[in-house]
A and B are shown apart, each in its own frame.
Chain A
Amino acid sequence: EDKVVQSPLSLVVHEGDTVTLNCSYEVTNFRSLLWYKQEKKAPTFLFMLTSSGIEKKSGRLSSILDKKELFSILNITATQTGDSAVYLCAVFLFTGANSKLTFGKGITLSVRP
């Protein structure tokens, strides 16, 4: 059975802290890993990772994939209260007509002022 496991499940930090969110996976037919941020409603896309060791960066957020050890991390530096959200990791499994995303349970991040 395909599994995507995120850790920790929840995290409370203070503004200015740096956080690292983890996503590990045990799947067949892996093609890519995606990170989303969900504040209240619709998840918004952050990153798609397909190659090991290549960091993707957007402002204070960055992410990297390790296809040998089967995990990804999402780093947020100098956190702000606006970073408070649920962060979702998803793995794209390619099986032709049945290709799909499998999501982890999400990490709830709370950033205190």
Chain B
Amino acid sequence: DGGITQSPKYLFRKEGQNVTLSCEQNLNHDAMYWYRQDPGQGLRLIYYSQIVNDFQKGDIAEGYSVSREKKESFPLTVTSAQKNPTAFYLCASSIRTGAQGDTQYFGPGTRLTVL
């Protein structure tokens, strides 16, 4: 089956710990994205990557880091520097980022709770 997978589904972390969220896609998409969703806030862009070994900061990148070593994978690390990390994290991918925009397809999300 083609699609985007995120793991784990639920994640609990103690304050001060770094944690890495996984995102994998087998759609052969070039572009991948990480969003954060808080209640009543819609989706906010954390980081995105249009090609392997390159990525850009989104609107709320502070306290997060990413890597894009393979086309299929775009892991997100939530560091201890992120002040309020409890949220629902969504990964998305699209064929490319063209002039009109390409439809982004989303994974099922990871709910992170900091205890």
Which residues in A have some Cβ–Cβ distance to B below 8 Å? 4, 6, 9, 31-32, 34, 36, 41-45, 48, 50, 88, 90, 92, 94, 97-106
Contacts and interface: CB of A to CB of B under 8 A. Distances in A.
Contacts of A106: 40, 42
B17 interface: no
Interface stretch (B43-51, B67-75, B78-86): B43-51
A100 B48 contact: yes
A43 B100 contact: no
A34 B90 contact: no
B100 A31 contact: yes
Interface in B14-53: 33, 35, 40-45, 48, 50
Interface of B: 4, 33, 35, 40-45, 48, 50, 56, 58, 90, 97, 99-101, 103-109
Given A88-B43, A104-B42, A106-B42, A98 B109 contact: no
B56 A41 contact: no
A92 B100 contact: yes
Given A42-B107, A43-B90, A100-B33, 18 more contacts: A9-B40, A32-B101, A41-B109, A42-B4, A42-B106, A42-B108, A43-B43, A50-B100, A88-B43, A92-B101, A99-B101, A100-B45, A100-B97, A101-B33, A101-B45, A101-B104, A103-B35, A105-B42
